Amino acid sequence: MSYTIIGTGSALPARRVTNVELSDFLDTSDEWIRTRTGIRERRICTAESLDDLAEEASLRALASAGIGPKDLDLIVCSTTTADHLMPAEACAVAERLGASCPAFDVSAACSGFVFALDVADGYLERGRAQRALVLSAEKCSRIMDWTDRSTCVLFGDAAAAVVVSAGGASPLWTRLRTIPNVAALDVPGVDGASPLASAPAAAAPSVLSMKGRSVYRFAVTEVSRELRDMEDETGIALADIDHFVLHQANERIIEAVCTHLGLERSRVAVNLATTGNVSSACIPLALDGMSRAGELAPGETVALVGFGAGLDVASTLVRWEAGPS
């Protein structure tokens, strides 16, 4: 297994929605949200489609990599909130870019970017591709219950992508796991209108429900386990890893993991204050921000850990080789 991240890109909706604005129609406040989550504002699609964001993030990643759409051999998109039930969001991106390579989606909720990166790695390892676009695009605002202050204040919309090329020093370690618990984080599917179906009870709305305490315990326990096992199995001490990019669900989760493992906060990315939880786009969004800010130097190690609905957890350790985007 070997690849190099050669480019990054991201896109956010124009509309900022602050905690104060949410308090206009929810029984909440800026202080309540900030102290419990670390979130001050989030970006929400109004005029933009998810296709728009996904295209913009992809173009920026390609420009960063110095290649064009025709140079791609594969597009893998992580999403659970696509603009289309079918075709795949990746197909819509391919059409807009003018690419003709295989394009498909991966659905692994907030762990999806690491899952998609591992899928692309498999294509590169088998010689089925030389360059791949790994994209995460999420319009979480479309699955929110906007009357539920415990969930809708947490999420935002975004797209982010990386371009990976065959060969290089990554990944140093990868692991994907599922600890099945559907009810902990669930969005019911479309009920449909089949005349042949038995008369059901009233269909549950396709909006997110979450058992917050269960998810918190899962996240802290399993992210800590991933990083300890990463250390044990690679022989690379956590103290020697340069950067940690964890799923940006809640600042309290990140703080708890840092406390459990003794991680210095300066080495742990935190960007959710201005974006909220953007599901699988959290990790590539943070990577793009760090790359463009010159915070990632060639040769440095970056641990990526996603966790979310499923319940899934996915982690990988990469050696950064791309220069500033």
Task: Tell me which residues are annotated as active site.
Answer: 110, 247, 277
Decide: 124 and 132 in contact? Cβ < 8 Å. Answer: yes
Q: Which residues of 10-23 are buried (b: 16+ CB within 10 A; e: fewer)?
A: bbbbeeebebeebb
Helix spans in the chain (H): 19-22, 30-37, 50-65, 89-97, 112-125, 212-234, 251-261, 282-292
Q: DSSP label at 298? A: T
- What sign has the CA pseudo-torsion 120, 301, 6, 44? positive
| DSSP letter assigned to residue 211 | -
**Residue 314, strand partner residues:** 176, 306
The single residue listed with the structure tokens 């370690």 is 173
Q: How far apart are the first and last CA of the chain?
A: 24
Residue 101 structure tokens: 């390579």
Bridge-based pairing state of the strands 301-308 and 310-319: antiparallel
Half-sphere exposure of 239 (CA within 13 A, CB side): 1
Output the six-digit token pair for 246: 């964890």
Distances (CA, A) of 319 to 111, 186, 221, 315: 20, 34, 25, 14
CA angle 317, 307, 232 (to 5 degrees): 40
